[in-house]
Amino acid sequence: MKALVFREFGGPEVLHISEIEDPAVSAGSVIVRTKAVGLNFADIYRRKDNYHLAGEAPWILGYEGAGIVESVGEGVAGIRVGDRVGFADAPHANAELVAVGADRVIPLPPDIPFELAASVLLQGLTAHYLVHDSYVVREGDDVLVHAAAGGVGQLLVQLCKSKGARVIGLTSSEDKKRVALNAGADEVLLYGDQNAEADASWPQAVRAWSSGGKGANVAYDSVGSTLMDSFNSVREKGTVVFYGMAGGDPPRIDPRMLMDSSLTLTGGDLWNHVTSREERTRRAGELFGDIAAGKLRVEAPTVFPLSEGADAHRLMESRRSTGKIILVP
């Protein structure tokens, strides 16, 4: 089979297509012939050696995709050859064939295309647990969403709005501001021009926008370096949900600051919330249902052939893209 591989850590130029051995089916797993593979920042971190990679080179990136079951291992029940499936946490997805544990297989409804599944599963499941578990968004809440034009950001905006919340987003450009507004945000602010004075203004703007000027009930922070500004944007007894570091490491937090205003800081990681096939299927089913009902719109992805994976990585690193980038074998 063909796969997008790399033998040393570095920039996108280390990626190249190679012919490698097909994965063998084993007990408790299936082989999926991929039709679409999602690209995520975690892939970039792994390529740069910021995340640990097991095994020896050549390494294969990718953890999310969709396709057709080609073979089924011993002991697997409820999955047949020819089934349309997706997955959000199976390694080595940047390939024509992927071995996926049966517990990680998510059945796809007939009306969900492979490209859509690869666009929404990881980011959609992330947005789902953030609004249902990390902080339970309620009608009337004021919600701050960082990177509101990104894949998770747009889904967060829509899910919060569907629950009756008011949403203010943060983006880095006028073009991305329009994307976030189109996703349904009530207001969108720009981070500023990267100087401290400009960046310091948006927490005050969030407070001024919020009901009674008290601040947001919750801030969803995927940037990391903005964590203190997120705290300055929420009200007393407010919550900051920290679930990413796209802008760099967060500052150290003094617990006394939390005590002074009865603030809550909680972390978020998808893999603590999807620990069984039943849990994955339930959450994905709710997402697919919202899409089918028109409650959740997913921006058409930017599509690259798997052979042009290096260019896809360059686009993602440029931060010029909005929505999802997918690779098609």
Domain edges within the chain:
2-108+299-328, 125-268
Q: What is the pLDDT of residue 52?
A: 77
Q: What is the pLDDT of residue 199?
A: 46
Domain at 2-108+299-328: CATH code:
3.90.180.10
**pLDDT single digits (tens) 178-228:** 999 999 999 999 997 443 444 458 999 999 999 999 999 999 999 999 999
Q: What is the pLDDT of residue 246?
A: 81
Q: What is the pLDDT of residue 194?
A: 40
Q: What is the pLDDT of residue 263?
A: 97
Q: What is the pLDDT of residue 82?
A: 98
Average pLDDT over residues 231-259: 93
User: Tokens for 70?
Assistant: 């080609």
Long-range contacts of 292-300 (CB under 8 A, 24+ apart): 292/109, 292/111, 295/158, 295/162, 296/124, 296/155, 296/158, 296/159, 296/162, 297/158, 297/183, 298/116, 298/119, 298/120, 298/124, 298/155, 298/323, 298/324, 299/119, 299/151, 299/154, 299/179, 299/323, 299/324
What does pLDDT average to over the chain? 93
Q: pLDDT band for 112, please (50, 70, 90 cuts).
A: very high
| Unique residue bearing structure tokens 């021009």 | 193
Q: Which fold has domain 125-268?
A: Rossmann fold (3.40.50)
- Does 18 have pLDDT greater than 70? yes
Q: What is the pLDDT of residue 195?
A: 39
